[in-house]
Chains A and B, each alone.
Chain A
Amino acid sequence: MTTTLPAYDEVVARFEPVIGLETHVELGTNTKMWCGCPTDFGGEPNTRVCPVCLGLPGSLPVANKAAIEATIRIGLALNCSIAEWCRFARKNYFYPDMPKNFQISQYDEPLCFDGYLDVEVNGELVRIGIERVHLEEDTGKTLHVGGATGRIHGATESLVDYNRAGIPLVEIVTKPIPGTGALAPEVARAYVAELRDVIRSLGVSDVRMEEGSLRCDVNTSLNRPGEEWGTRTETKNVNSLRSVERAVRSEMLRQASVLEAGGRITQETRHFHEDTGDTTSGRSKETATDYRYFPEPDLVPLAPDTAWVAELKAALPELPRLRRKRIQQEWGLSDLDMQSVVNAGAVELIEATVAAGTTPAAARKWWLGELSRRANETGVELADVGATPAQVAELQGLVDAGKLNDKLARTVLEGVVAGEGSPTEIMTNRNLEVVSDTGALTAAVDEAIAANPDVADKIRSGKVAAAGALVGAVMKTTRGQADAKTVRELILARLGA
């Protein structure tokens, strides 16, 4: 089905979008939600399992206190009220990656509710309402073998890995977000980025979208001005910040073209495709699945002690947005410069690099320059580009000590990103250190003088500026490793200028 999509500015001139986001965050607790199995990523399939997370007959769940604490802290950081009493509920549906064929989740009694998160978009503060934050368990992973789509339909065989089953999962649901107009895609992205930063600052999850520890579903609807909100679609498989933005935009365009043609929007799940930036239709939600929720009888109600909640609240770290304000002042950045640091996802990276002894300016130069370029080229988040703040600080240290010049430092950084080792190791192994030892350079200088008698004469006659050509020649023979300043001094001394 190929239809010509309308232009984006026409769409936002005729329609108002309402968006909403459901985010799942895998908590970084040591053990699973209901048992003592480890939670770390990777591992041979079905090696991190026990009777409880396999849902064997007779097994029972015991709630992980660390997960409850983490959820409450997320709720508090999102300005939520914390339930004085709430229960887990069973969400019943059959699927082979759900060991019990029900998921222990929360239904009408979420642990945290009614909060908000302020996010900055184009220098404006947008307040995103938080409907609820609740705790549930993750499912296993199914691999469908055979068939064209990798989906269950048409597959010849399905393999299930239960290592992920029972990992604590926090679901954060926004209230509907109307009124953002053309900025809707950016608001969605900014919200997820801010939420990720908040959760990371709490230290409760590594919130890596590409590993699935932060997963996002985006709800989008369009309505004409003055009319009721439209039918919404839920877009899944949105696995990066960029995709969040693209998914909203793409869905706005698609819905607008359907509505313009006099069609109606189907309430359904749609799948986002990273390669094309499009969404395709998934499961229709018009005949709603009946999950037959009821309170989980194997668990006792949760009644977080109010004094404990107050303690957790008092101990919350400085929230990212406020921290950014403070850092901007400390680093002396303009709003625009700070914005580019934030957009690049470089705040924590620069901060850590500065903490390791680098000046803010130098740290910013590396992260926003060479490394951002590299991250863009390879399509990864800056934090995953392959260099750590400690390595960047070490690199800058070598520059400051005169062992690397700017060009050599870039070469070393390439080695770091390629995983060749620490900057010092790479410099040594690849013999990239600046040659400033005059003994070693004299031969190269003499060679350059002998090869360029005309230039040498000019210098001898007082045209010192001509020395540049000889410096260039020496740099060439030393493959850029010579210290240019030393070379120049040597040439001038040699020629008595």
Chain B
Amino acid sequence: MSDLTKLSAVEIAGLVASGETSAVEVTQAHLDRIGAVDDRVHAFLHVDTEGALAAARAVDERRAAGDELGPLAGVPVAVKDVLTTKGVPTTVGSKILEGWRPPYDSTIVERLRAAGTVMLGKTNMDEFAMGSSTEYSAYGPTRNPWDTDRIPGGSGGGSAAALAAYEAPLSIGSDTGGSIRQPGAVTGTVGAKPTYGGTSRYGLVAFSSSLDTPGPCARTVLDAALLHEVIGGHDPRDSTSIPAPVPDVVAAARLGATGDLTGVKLGMVTEFIGEGAEPGVMAAFRDAAEALAKLGAEIVEVSCPHFKYALPAYYLIAPSECSSNLARFDGVRFGLRVGDDGNRSLEEVMSLTREAGFGPEVKRRIMIGTYALSSGYYDAYYGQAQKVRTLITRDFTSAFEQVDALISPTTPFVAFPLGSRTADPYQMYLADLFTIPTNLYGGPAISVPCGLSDGLPVGFQIMAPTMADDRMYRIAAALESAVGTLTPPTI
């Protein structure tokens, strides 16, 4: 049954539950697919063949024993290598953690296991989730299944490419400035950033603590919602986790799929629909907005005047937090250690380890952040950026007094050729121009495929108020019902 890899998670779960196929069969089909295509895609850093088959067998045994299975039992999932997995290598795409096998599972992975999903392995990413193309992975780039000479987005390019290459029906990403949504957009898949605090960060190797948000990636909106439901919800081990139930995202996705948006008011962000985006991207976005209007949505323009400061504010806040979060990678307790020859001082060993273990983009951000937090500059940089963050949050809250959700293209441009933006960090940073404001605010946002531009996928972004993740899924599912899903070329 080679077409098992083409099915949605809902379909796979249904077949496993009814006994028409087994979890082992499903898992093997995906492992075979990975074996067949991943040398060209490089979505995975580590494939846990044995662990996956063992998890699949456990699901099959539970089914045989008559246990009630969860809605995603037996469905394979690929996990971004930013989440700790007990005994399974976790590198964060960095040489500094090469060979590290964490002694504990992240909360997300723990919940995935408890739900009976089958973890196939760990996906490639820009080192420490810093990047928009997965080219900053220390283990080589991931390629876009739509055109393997192009980038799959980043930082979670591996998780998105695994979906588009049919190596996995579901994957987990993490979104600090767009790392779920932008890869979703450029690979023609669905990527959702939940409300900050709606998914646990425990076991998510931190890049920027106040922004990092793990979330679901899938080929359909309903699949993403099902995965969101499994991984979301309060976690007492994460102090910033919201102590409230997950909004009913699955019901919202089903409601949206009926294609009725009567009474829903959407705001196109004025600042994001003018300059900055490619014409092909804008055309696909406008067509999709039309389609939503046909479903009954009222569409207006809403100005968010401070969004233009989001990128500079983000590139002070995120590096500042990263400079502190990444201090622990010093070769003392885990991971890489360089220069420990019995003659060098501890300080030298720490320096050599960090020099060898971190790539250039990570070093750039550590240096920016160290500078921005230093005494005498704190107020001018970190302090000022926090004020901008407050203003952006106000833009969102006042926008949501006028509309139910904001919409924009997910990213200004379609997948660009490998190597075309690595020489100029600013050109790379622009990929997240439209996604970053939401991270600064903390609300949920999703990227849904809305068409093609020059044969490459375009993403449509829906941004909702905090804890209104359900509303976001409803609109996303409605859009999907109107424009359909995208089918990547066969690899």
Let me know if A160 is at the binding interface, CB within 8 A: yes
Kindly state the separation between the CA atoms of A290 and B373 in the bound complex, as whole angstroms. 9
Let me know if B378 is at the binding interface, CB within 8 A: yes
Let me know if B466 is at the binding interface, CB within 8 A: no
Determine the chain B residues whose CB is within 8 A of the CB of A58 once the complex forms: 83-84, 90, 102, 104, 106, 202-206
Determine the chain A residues whose CB is within 8 A of the CB of B209 once the complex forms: 297-298
**Known A94-B327, A156-B342, A292-B373; further 7 A-B contacts with Cβ < 8 A:** A57-B97, A60-B239, A92-B373, A94-B330, A99-B328, A288-B375, A298-B209
Let me know if B210 is at the binding interface, CB within 8 A: yes
Q: List 12 A-B contacts (CB under 8 A).
A: A54-B333, A56-B84, A56-B102, A56-B333, A56-B334, A57-B329, A58-B203, A60-B237, A60-B238, A60-B239, A101-B328, A290-B374
The answer to whether A99 touches B333 (Cβ under 8 A) is yes
Count: A-B pairs, CB below 8 Å: 103
Determine the chain A residues whose CB is within 8 A of the CB of B97 once the complex forms: 57
Known contacts A101-B327, A297-B210; A292 and B370 CB within 8 A of each other: yes
Kindly state the separation between the CA atoms of A54 and B327 in the bound complex, as whole angstroms. 13
The answer to whether B324 touches A55 (Cβ under 8 A) is no
Known contacts A51-B104, A292-B373, A294-B382; A57 and B334 CB within 8 A of each other: yes
Let me know if B103 is at the binding interface, CB within 8 A: yes
Kindly state the separation between the CA atoms of A297 and B328 in the bound complex, as whole angstroms. 16
State the majority secondary structure of interface residues on A.
loop
Determine the chain A residues whose CB is within 8 A of the CB of B342 once the complex forms: 156
| Interface 0/1 of B172-209, CB less than 8 Å to A | 00000000000000000000000000000111111011
Closest to A144 in B: B346
Determine the chain A residues whose CB is within 8 A of the CB of B201 once the complex forms: 60
The answer to whether B375 touches A57 (Cβ under 8 A) is no
Let me know if B92 is at the binding interface, CB within 8 A: yes
Which A residues from 39 to 68 make CB contacts under 8 A with B? 51, 54-63
Determine the chain B residues whose CB is within 8 A of the CB of A158 once the complex forms: 346
Binding site for B on A (CB under 8 A): 51, 54-63, 90, 92, 94, 96, 99-102, 152, 156, 158, 160, 288, 290, 292-294, 297-300
Shortest 5 CB-CB contacts between residues of A and residues of B: A101-B327, A297-B209, A292-B373, A297-B210, A58-B203
Known contacts A61-B239, A294-B378; A96 and B373 CB within 8 A of each other: no
Let me know if B453 is at the binding interface, CB within 8 A: no
CB distance from B466 to the nearest CB of A (A): 15
Let me know if B320 is at the binding interface, CB within 8 A: yes
Kindly state the separation between the CA atoms of A51 and B328 in the bound complex, as whole angstroms. 13
Let me know if B482 is at the binding interface, CB within 8 A: no
The answer to whether B83 touches A90 (Cβ under 8 A) is no
The answer to whether B106 touches A92 (Cβ under 8 A) is no
Kindly state the separation between the CA atoms of A451 and B240 in the bound complex, as whole angstroms. 91
Determine the chain B residues whose CB is within 8 A of the CB of A51 once the complex forms: 102-104
User: Which of B106, B237, B332, B374 lies in contact with A160, CB distance below 8 A?
Assistant: B332
User: Which of B208, B239, B324, B327 lies in contact with A62, CB distance below 8 A?
Assistant: B239
Determine the chain B residues whose CB is within 8 A of the CB of A55 once the complex forms: 328, 333
CB distance from B440 to the nearest CB of A (A): 13
The answer to whether B103 touches A90 (Cβ under 8 A) is no
The answer to whether B103 touches A92 (Cβ under 8 A) is no
Determine the chain A residues whose CB is within 8 A of the CB of B90 once the complex forms: 57-58
Closest to B383 in A: A294
Determine the chain B residues whose CB is within 8 A of the CB of A294 once the complex forms: 320-321, 324, 373, 378, 382
Kindly state the separation between the CA atoms of A55 and B333 in the bound complex, as whole angstroms. 9
CB distance from A77 to the nearest CB of B (A): 27
The answer to whether A300 touches B239 (Cβ under 8 A) is yes
Let me know if B51 is at the binding interface, CB within 8 A: no
Closest to B321 in A: A297
Determine the chain A residues whose CB is within 8 A of the CB of B375 once the complex forms: 288, 290, 292
Kindly state the separation between the CA atoms of A59 and B235 in the bound complex, as whole angstroms. 13
Kindly state the separation between the CA atoms of A54 and B90 in the bound complex, as whole angstroms. 17
Kindly state the separation between the CA atoms of A290 and B106 in the bound complex, as whole angstroms. 33
Determine the chain B residues whose CB is within 8 A of the CB of A99 once the complex forms: 328, 333
Which B residues from 94 to 114 make CB contacts under 8 A with A? 97, 100, 102-104, 106
Let me know if B350 is at the binding interface, CB within 8 A: yes
Determine the chain B residues whose CB is within 8 A of the CB of A290 once the complex forms: 374-375
Determine the chain B residues whose CB is within 8 A of the CB of A57 once the complex forms: 84, 90, 92, 97, 100, 102, 205-206, 328-329, 334
Kindly state the separation between the CA atoms of A51 and B334 in the bound complex, as whole angstroms. 11
The answer to whether A92 touches B332 (Cβ under 8 A) is no
Known contacts A102-B324, A294-B378; A62 and B203 CB within 8 A of each other: no
| Interface 0/1 of B316-340, CB less than 8 Å to A | 0000110110011110111000000
Kindly state the separation between the CA atoms of A62 and B235 in the bound complex, as whole angstroms. 11
Kindly state the separation between the CA atoms of A92 and B370 in the bound complex, as whole angstroms. 10
Determine the chain A residues whose CB is within 8 A of the CB of B334 once the complex forms: 56-57
CB distance from B4 to the nearest CB of A (A): 32
Determine the chain B residues whose CB is within 8 A of the CB of A156 once the complex forms: 342
The answer to whether B346 touches A92 (Cβ under 8 A) is no
Determine the chain B residues whose CB is within 8 A of the CB of A297 once the complex forms: 208-210, 240, 321
CB distance from A230 to the nearest CB of B (A): 24
CB distance from B424 to the nearest CB of A (A): 28
CB distance from B485 to the nearest CB of A (A): 33
The answer to whether A90 touches B202 (Cβ under 8 A) is no
Let me know if B236 is at the binding interface, CB within 8 A: yes
Determine the chain A residues whose CB is within 8 A of the CB of B210 once the complex forms: 297
Which B residues from 339 to 398 make CB contacts under 8 A with A? 342, 346-347, 350, 370, 373-375, 378, 382
Known contacts A58-B203, A60-B202, A158-B346; A292 and B324 CB within 8 A of each other: yes
Closest to A88 in B: B239
Determine the chain B residues whose CB is within 8 A of the CB of A54 once the complex forms: 333
CB distance from A47 to the nearest CB of B (A): 14
Which B residues from 262 to 299 make CB contacts under 8 A with A? none
Kindly state the separation between the CA atoms of A60 and B240 in the bound complex, as whole angstroms. 10
CB distance from A142 to the nearest CB of B (A): 10
Kindly state the separation between the CA atoms of A152 and B202 in the bound complex, as whole angstroms. 34
CB distance from B366 to the nearest CB of A (A): 11
Kindly state the separation between the CA atoms of A102 and B327 in the bound complex, as whole angstroms. 8
The answer to whether B374 touches A62 (Cβ under 8 A) is no
The answer to whether A101 touches B330 (Cβ under 8 A) is yes
Determine the chain B residues whose CB is within 8 A of the CB of A293 once the complex forms: 373
Kindly state the separation between the CA atoms of A158 and B97 in the bound complex, as whole angstroms. 22
The answer to whether A62 touches B240 (Cβ under 8 A) is no
Closest to B205 in A: A57
The answer to whether B236 touches A62 (Cβ under 8 A) is yes
CB distance from B337 to the nearest CB of A (A): 12
CB distance from B126 to the nearest CB of A (A): 16
> Which of A96, A102, A156, A293 is packed against the most chain B CB atoms within 10 Å?
A96
The answer to whether B239 touches A63 (Cβ under 8 A) is yes
CB distance from A291 to the nearest CB of B (A): 8
Closest to A96 in B: B332
CB distance from A16 to the nearest CB of B (A): 31
The answer to whether B239 touches A100 (Cβ under 8 A) is no
| Interface 0/1 of B113-126, CB less than 8 Å to A | 00000000000000
Determine the chain B residues whose CB is within 8 A of the CB of A94 once the complex forms: 327, 330, 347, 350
The answer to whether A96 touches B324 (Cβ under 8 A) is no
Closest to A298 in B: B209
CB distance from B459 to the nearest CB of A (A): 28
Determine the chain B residues whose CB is within 8 A of the CB of A59 once the complex forms: 104, 202-203
